[in-house]
Structure formats: structure tokens, C-alpha cells
Structure 1
């Protein structure tokens, strides 16, 4: 009986630890060479939902997405747009069908997003905060 209780307590502790680490701190990034200002969540949402193709200062911007199903992508869209993966898919199906837009380019992970954004001052992406380096700079921190 005591073994069962210890096992249940250990499992509960592990579950709490995993759920705490499952919610990473994400940052929306631009190239360190980009003149882009800090952005609001609404501005970032408009860019990533294909409703805005320019930054507030008029500079054209291209969003880069993480792969479908990744934790970062799901967390980003939930926090910034309030959309679940299913709602996001429906949004882009409608945008593509009506000819109003194409979804952002998709890449495999935070390191790839960081490299692409660092190399192209007109790109914007989101990564886990732990992947930040001097080649990019955050314009929005998601908590």
C-alpha cells in the first residue's frame, strides 16, 4: 500500500514538472539588422494570419512558421491569435480558397527559424527564448 502511495506521489510530481516545462517562453524575432520596432500581439497576429504584409513603419514583412504539430507553433497561435490547430487550419483553408493569402513558410524548428530570420531582415518568426542569440532580436515576448 505504501509503495502505491509513493508511486502516485512521484507520478503527480513528474506530471506537474512536465506541464510546467511544456509551456516554453516564446519570443517573436526579427533580424538584428532589421529596423522593425517592438510589436503588439495584435500586430503579430495580423502578420501571421495573412491580414497584414507590412510592419507599422511600412516595411514589407514575411512570416516564418514552425512545423505543424510542434509545441512552439501550437503555443504561439494559442497565445497570439487564440486559435487552436483546427481553427488555424480552417482559417488558412478559407484564405487560400478565396485567394486572399497563403500561409507562412514552414520550417522544422527554432534553430532554422532563427537562421532564416537572421539572414533576411524582412522576415519575422517565433522561437523558444532559449534559442535567442545576437543574430536576431525580440520584438515581442510571449509569457
Structure 2
């Protein structure tokens, strides 16, 4: 009985983390681009490369601020890494001068405005968001 009480907080924490990951895995995100190409489609690996500092046809990624729920969903489903690993990666890239992280926005309205105003930008939105004319859905997470 003493062992159970001793490890109960750890078990509760691990259970809540697992529930959060399952919940995030069920939500879908739309990856949207202002590319001028209505037929543009990107794969999950291309998006991971783009959002982790790679270059794809002059596209520039934009994402939500660290800690944002939608960013966590996107990172889980598309990037495949936890926020801490991504932040560590960008810290190393900035320190070495090799690359800078994507631009950040605070909310859905800012994301839509940024995407509409910046040609070749790519960002993500929650499924069900009304996509304005001029933007193209290039990927839908499952």
C-alpha cells in the first residue's frame, strides 16, 4: 500500500499525459498556403522539413506561439516531436547561426491575416476553419 501511495502522483501525471496525447491525435489541422497554386499539395515529410528549417519552393512557415494548444496538436501529428525537442532544436540552430525559427502568431485571426498578406507563407489552422479565397489547403492531418 505504501508503494502505491508513493507513486500515485507519478501515475496520475502519466495518465493525464496519455489522455492529452490521445485527444490531440483525434483533432485534425489544415495546413494552408498562400502560394498562388491551387493544386499545390505537400506531404507530411515535406511539412516537417519546412517547419524544421528546410526550404521548399520558397515557402515560409508561420506557426502559433509556443504553448498554444493548436501548435501542440500540429507538432504531435505533423512534426512528430514534443515542443521541448523543437525548442531545443531551434535554440541550437539560432546559436550556430544556421537558421531561424518560423514566424509566430497568437491566434487564428492573426494566422489568417498573416497568410493572406504574405505570399508564399504556409501555416496551420483547426479543421473546420473557413479558408478565405487565395489560400489553398495543402495538407490535412488525420
TM-score range, shorter chain: 0.7 to 0.9
Deviation at 1:62, TM superposition (A): 1.1
SS in 2 for 1:29: strand
CA contact (8 A) 2:29 2:126 kept: yes
1:49–1:103 Cα contact (<8 Å) kept: yes
TM-score (norm 2): 0.75
- Residue 82 of structure 1 and its aligned partner are, at CA, apart by 1.2
1:69 matched to 2:51? The reply is: no
User: 1:18-37 CA distances to partner (integer Å, 9 max, x unpaired)?
Assistant: x7588431011012x62271
Q: Map 1:109-128 to 2 at 5 A.
A: 109-128=107-126
- Partners of 2:49 and 2:80 in 1: CA distance: 12
Gaps of 5+ in 1: 1-15
The 2-side partners of 1:23 and 1:89 are apart by 24
Q: Give every structure 1 segment of 4 or more consecutive aligned residues whose post-TM-superposition deviation is greater than 6 Å.
A: none
Q: TM-score, normalised by structure 1?
A: 0.75
Question: CA separation in 2, counterparts of 1:21 and 1:63?
Answer: 21
Q: Tell me the matched-pair count.
A: 120
Mapped to 2, the partners of 1:95 and 1:22 lie a distance apart of 28
* Structure 2: gaps spanning 5 or more residues: 1-18
Tell whether the 8 Å contact from 2:28 to 2:126 is kept in structure 1 after alignment.
yes
What is the RMSD of the two structures over their aligned residues, measured on CA atoms?
2.1
